[in-house]
A and B are shown apart, each in its own frame.
Chain A
Amino acid sequence: MLTSVDTKSRFSRRTLFKTLGLGGAAALMPARSRAAVLPDTGQEMATLLDLNKCIGCGACVDACRDVNASRYPEPKKPFPVMYPSRVKAEDFSDNRHVDNRLTPYNWLFIQSATAEGREVFIPRRCMHCQNPPCANLCPWGAAARQGSGTVAINTDICLGGAKCRDVCPWEIPQRQTGVGLYLDLAPSLGGNGVMFKCDRCSDRVANGKLPACIGACPNGVQEMGPRDVIVAKARDLAKATGGFLYGLEENGGTNTIYLSPVSFEKLNAALMEGKQSGKTGANTSERVEQQGPGRPHLARVADVMAGSNTLAWAVLLAPLAGVASAFLKGTRKLMNTSSPQPAVSDAAARKEERNA
């Protein structure tokens, strides 16, 4: 029965949530956080990136680096010795200039893929998934999806275990060792720094500004707005231009929609080719690998959280099932009153329970 519940049925989920009275729980929270709780206003924001327009100039990357430089990690060296020895430090602090992949010091980079005889530039950063495994599965509450659709990591409390990167279909968050809360806890035994990624310029947006990369682009590649508006626009544009979309269904839906003149299967194949030729061949030695650590793929991605979300219904219905089964047992007992209970096993059961 449970598998027939559509985990995408937004209406029923909302209704269920309200029925459970969590709206009431939200009211107990401080006023400042209350605004961010349960955004049923439909104001989830999404970004559309029209790759037809991107010339790969990198102005967006520079803007991101300028605006966020003050938030970059300043690790203490030497790093604490970590146990067991398989735990390796990840250190980009001497390579802050690297801007052709994601690093703790570079939250946006321009990927390029050649397909159908044309080079397509793809600005890459966190996709801001609608149901982000990075935030859902963070065991420490450091990563959270906000009502605006932005997924951000609280670098003040992140312990750098990198689980968010492990469960992210694009392995987006990047680790810097030697910074953060783990240094104050048990630096040798747990944690390994802090994870960094794009947070859609949360501070700027909170002050009514645009994310830096959007404002800096000379070609107006990016556009941000309520998700339904952006999705409608993306679909219209794709239809009108015969283009392709990425991000609508990926990982159950993201708030980053790419529109490309070339299919994403071909773009992804080109990225993978770049990956292989980047490693070997004399004439490609100049070439930067386009796919690998810090350089995400463009393959189709199934919804990572779908299985857990279906099981969530089982958890919510389990108490009802327990009550029902108890009543069923009661009814059966009533009907069987004529046949006496075997006294020995009953006593044994009671003994077992006493020993619990």
Chain B
Amino acid sequence: MPSLTLYRLVVAVLAVSGVAQMPIFKRYYIADIPGLGWTADFIFTHRLHYLAAAALLFWLARRIVLSGASSIGEGRLALLLALIATGVPRMLKNLPDVSFSPTATMLIDWTHLGAAMALGLTALAMVFKRHPHTSRR
């Protein structure tokens, strides 16, 4: 599979499973759509999020070694690093022997949410920017 297709797929899974961590897919009837019931299963989507995070880290490390950090693009790399820098402590916090203070827990959650939203908005902006270009072709 071409490298960037894999990247897009992984980020899409991360986005859906990440948004699914908020109790909204059931509230807004999305989980009622046949075949989408799993979006309201917090435990399943949490595992999915971890799996996709592993895939993203694999992709990123491989890409950096093979093609260099510049091949990812400065902006995208910065956003991904912010996501990882907040996501990893978020995950470590969940391990049985690890406790952060309530304040640290809150800050980690909020910054991870912020990083994810920044990446999402940027991706959206890129799509809009690219769209006229691709339709002209």
Contacts and interface: CB of A to CB of B under 8 A. Distances in A.
Q: Do A and B come from one complex?
A: yes
Nearest to A11: B97
A25 B85 CA distance: 11
Interface stretch (A70-78, A95-103, A136-144, A277-285): A136-144
B104 A33 contact: yes
A288 interface: no
A272 interface: no
Contacts of B3: 349, 353
A329 B65 CA distance: 10
A180 to B, nearest CB: 15
A185 interface: no
Contacts of A139: 21-23, 109, 113
Interface residues of A, number: 76
Interface stretch (A106-114, A207-215, A309-317): A309-317
Interface string A116-156: 00000000000000110101111111101111000010100
A137 B106 contact: no
B97 A10 contact: yes
A157 B51 contact: no
Contacts of B92: 17, 20, 22, 312
Interface string A37-49: 1111000000000
B66 A312 contact: no
Given A304-B43, A308-B94, A321 B99 contact: no
B128 interface: no
Given A312-B91, A353-B71, A17 B42 contact: no
A330 B58 CA distance: 16
B69 to A, nearest CB: 13
19 contacts: A17-B95, A33-B101, A37-B100, A86-B29, A139-B113, A163-B22, A163-B42, A304-B43, A307-B43, A308-B43, A309-B96, A314-B50, A318-B56, A319-B61, A321-B61, A326-B65, A326-B66, A329-B66, A353-B4
Interface of A: 7-8, 10, 13-14, 17, 20, 22, 25-26, 29-30, 32-40, 84, 86-87, 130-131, 133, 135-142, 144-147, 152, 154, 157, 161-163, 166-167, 190, 252-253, 304-305, 307-309, 311-312, 314-323, 325-327, 329-330, 349, 352-353, 356
Given A7-B96, A146-B101, 7 more contacts: A33-B100, A145-B99, A163-B21, A308-B43, A312-B50, A323-B62, A353-B2
